[in-house]
């Protein structure tokens, strides 16, 4: 099949690349656009490692085709950094709570949580579970991830006020 040209907004910048219709979005991000922050854990929609933010909402990038993001807005873990590439507020909160070990599920966790906190900066425990219930972490047993999310939410609230 002929490759398609795809142009999208990735982390605030307009980028383009080419992909076969069959290429998944996560492969497109990682292989074509070389944005390797987003990870692949299962390619069948269960683990959540590939989570990105599409037009403001957390979705699984292994369950979308690259051709489907034409003209859309995508945020990946790289997009949560400050302008100069240093860790953003949420990312630093995950450092302070040590909300990870191997770091493999981390990009998916961060993007899921980012989407949550964009719409709800004072999430309840249930909100947090709902937001990351589709992100499997094999390392942490989740406690330090939950701690980190709470630290991050609090700092984001402070940052706004």
Count of residues near ligand FES by CB under 6 A: 23
Dist CA 135 CA 149 (whole Å): 14
- Measured from the CB atom, the residue of 17 and 108 that comes closer to ligand FES is 108
The pair phi, psi for residue 84, each rounded to 5°, is -85, 10
- Measured from the CB atom, the residue of 43 and 121 that comes closer to ligand FES is 43
Give the CB-side neighbour count of residue 31, counting CA atoms within 13 A: 11
The answer to whether residue 31 forms part of the interface with ligand FES (CB under 6 A) is: no
Residues 6 or more apart in contact with residue 23 via CB below 8 angstroms: 32, 65, 66, 67
The answer to whether residue 15 forms part of the interface with ligand FES (CB under 6 A) is: no
From 25, 58, 62, 75, residue interacting with ligand FES (rule: CB under 6 A): 62
From 6, 8, 10, 47, residue interacting with other proteins (rule: CB under 8 A): 47
1 binds, among ligand FES, other proteins, none (CB under 5 to 8 A by kind): other proteins
x/- binding map, residues 50-79, to other proteins, per CB under 8 A?
-x--x--xxxx-xxxx-xx-x-----xxx-
87-116 residues in contact with ligand FES (CB under 6 A) are 100-106
Dist CA 129 CA 125 (whole Å): 6
The answer to whether residue 123 forms part of the interface with other proteins (CB under 8 A) is: no
Pairing of strands 4-10, 13-19: antiparallel
The sign of the dihedral angle between the CA atoms of 145, 55, 122, 81 is positive
Concatenated DSSP letters of 99-112 = --SSSSSHHHHHHH
The answer to whether residue 43 forms part of the interface with ligand FES (CB under 6 A) is: yes
Residues that bind ligand FES (CB under 6 A): 40-43, 45-50, 60, 62, 100-106, 137-140
């Amino acid at each position: 099949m002929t490759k398609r040209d795809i142009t999208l907004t990735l982390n605030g910048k307009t980028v383009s690349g080419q992909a076969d219709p069959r290429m998944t979005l996560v492969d497109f991000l990682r292989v074509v656009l070389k944005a390797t922050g987003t990870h692949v854990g299962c390619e069948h929609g269960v683990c959540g490692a590939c989570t990105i933010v599409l037009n403001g909402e957390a979705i699984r990038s292994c369950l979308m085709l690259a051709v489907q993001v034409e003209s859309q807005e995508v945020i990946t873990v790289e997009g949560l950094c400050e302008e100069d590439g240093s860790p953003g507020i949420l990312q630093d909160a995950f450092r302070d709570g040590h909300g990870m070990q191997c770091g493999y599920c981390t990009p998916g966790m961060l993007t899921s949580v980012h989407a949550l906190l964009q719409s709800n900066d004072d999430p309840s425990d249930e909100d947090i579970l709902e937001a990351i219930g589709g992100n499997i972490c094999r390392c942490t047993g989740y406690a330090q991830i939950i701690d980190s999310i709470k630290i991050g939410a609090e700092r984001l609230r402070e940052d706004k006020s």
